[in-house]
Structure 1
Amino acid sequence: MPELPRGARLGVDVGKARIGLAASDPDGLIASPVETVSRVLKVPTTAEGGQAVTADVARIAHEAAERFAAVVYVGLPRHLSGHEGAATADARGFAARLAREVAPVPVHLVDERMTTVTAHAHLRAAGKKTAKHRPVIDQAAAVIILQHALDVERTTADRAGEHVDA
C-alpha cells in the first residue's frame, strides 16, 4: 500500500456558535485538542460579489499553515438515518469556504454522527462536571472526528471522507 504524505491533520467540528479544532502529530497517529474558535455566522460579500474570508475560516487556515497540514477534516453532521439536514448544508458551506482558503491543502468531509454525545461521555468519564463541558466540548468532538479519520487512513492508506472542491 502506498503511504500518505507526512504532515499534521486538522479536525474541525462546526457548530452554530463555536468551532472545535483538533490537530494530529505529523505522522497522523494521535489527535489532540487545539482550541475553540468563535463562529462567524454572517458571511460578508466582497466588492466583486464573492464571499469574504471570515475570522473563523482565517483562524483555521492560519493553523493549517502553521502546522504544515496535509489535510483538513471537517465533520459532516447527518441525521442518524443518514439523511442530510440544515446542519449538514451549513457544514458543507463552511467546508467549501475553508477549502478555498487553505488550497492546495485538501479538505474532506467526514461523518460525525454521535460525536458530541461521545465527547460528553468521554468528558464525564474523565470526571469533568457537565457544567464545565461547554468550553471544551467542541474541541473534544473535533478530536473524535479527527481520530476517526486517522483510523480510516491507517486502515485504508487513503484519506477519509468526501473531498471538497476548492
Structure 2
Amino acid sequence: MPEREHTGSDDTGPVGGRRRELPAVPPARQRPAPPAEQPGHHPTTEIDLSRGIPAPPRHETTEIDLSGGWPQHLRVPPPPAPPRRGGRVMGVDVGSVRVGVALSDPTGTLASPLETLRRSRDGADLDRLAQLVAEHEVTEVVVGEPRHLSGASGASARDADAYSQALAGRIADVPVHLIDERLSTVTAAQHLRAGGIDSRRQRPVIDQAAAVVILQHYLDARQARP
C-alpha cells in the first residue's frame, strides 16, 4: 500500500519531499506623507480711524481767476532766443530811379558795394535781387527806410516799405529787415569825396555806397549786441 502523503500547514510541498524555494516578496514601500498645507498669508493694512472714516478721493477741477492776468506761478517761460544766423547779409538802398545793392563778407562783418539796379515797373529789379540772394547764399536782407531828420516817415519811407514787402514775397525763406537810413546818402557822398571821387562821378556809384552805409550800420549794431 502506497505511502500517503501528508501536508503540513507550514509546508509548501509534499511531506518528506524537497520544498520549493519561492522568490522572496519585497516589503511594501512606504509612501511619503503629503506635506502639510501651509496656511495662506494675507497681510492687512492698518487704518487709523481715530479721526473717523477717511473721505474717498475727489476728482474736481479748480477755477482760477484770470481777471487780474495770468498768475505768476503758472507763467510759461519764454522760449530761448534763436541762434544768431551766420552767412552773408545784403543791404538795399531803394531810390525812386535806382536801387543800390551791397553785400557783406561770409562772416557778416564788412560791407562792400555789389551792384546798382534800375527800378522797373515789371519787377525785373526785384527778380534780380532774388537771383543775387540765391547766388550769394544770403541769409538776411536789410532795406533802408528813408526818414526825415525828425524821425517822421514820408512817401519815400512808404515806398521802401512796399518794396521790402515785394522782395520778401520773392525770397520767403530769407528775412527782410527795414532799418532807419537817415543821412545814409549824405554819409556815402562824404566817403566818396574822401576817396577822391567828385560829385560828377558819384552818380553811378552813390546808390551802392548808400547801400554799404546802411548795411555796415546794421552789421556794427548786430556785433555790438550781446
Q: Aligned Cα RMSD in Å? A: 1.3
User: Structure 2: which 5+ runs fail to align?
Assistant: 1-80
Alignment of 1:75-154 (within 5 A): 75-154=144-223
CA 2–90 in structure 1, closer or farther in 2 if over 3 Å, else same:
closer
Q: Tell me the TM-score normalized by structure 2.
A: 0.63
In 2, the alpha carbon distance for the partners of 1:130 and 1:59 equals: 28
Q: Which has the higher strand share?
A: 1
> 1:2, CA displacement in angstroms?
7.3
Per-residue deviation, 1:6: 1.4
2:101 matched to 1:21? yes
Structure of greater relative contact order (alpha carbons < 8 Å, 6+ residues apart): 1
TM-score by structure 1 length?
0.85
Q: Give every structure 1 segment of 4 or more consecutive aligned residues whose post-TM-superposition deviation is greater than 4 Å.
A: none
Give the number of aligned pairs. 146
What is the percent sequence identity of the aligned residues? Answer: 51
Secondary structure, in 3 states, of the residue corresponding to 1:149?
helix
- Structure 1 residues not aligned, in runs of 5+: 44-53, 158-166
What is the aligned counterpart of 1:38 among 113, 118, 124?
118
> Match of 2:138, SS?
coil
Partner of 1:163: none
Please report how far the alpha carbon of residue 4 of structure 1 lies from its aligned counterpart in structure 2 after TM superposition.
1.5
Q: By how many angstroms is 1:86 displaced? A: 0.3
Larger helix proportion of the pair? 1
Q: Which has the greater radius of gyration?
A: 2
1:156 Cα deviation (Å)?
Answer: 1.4
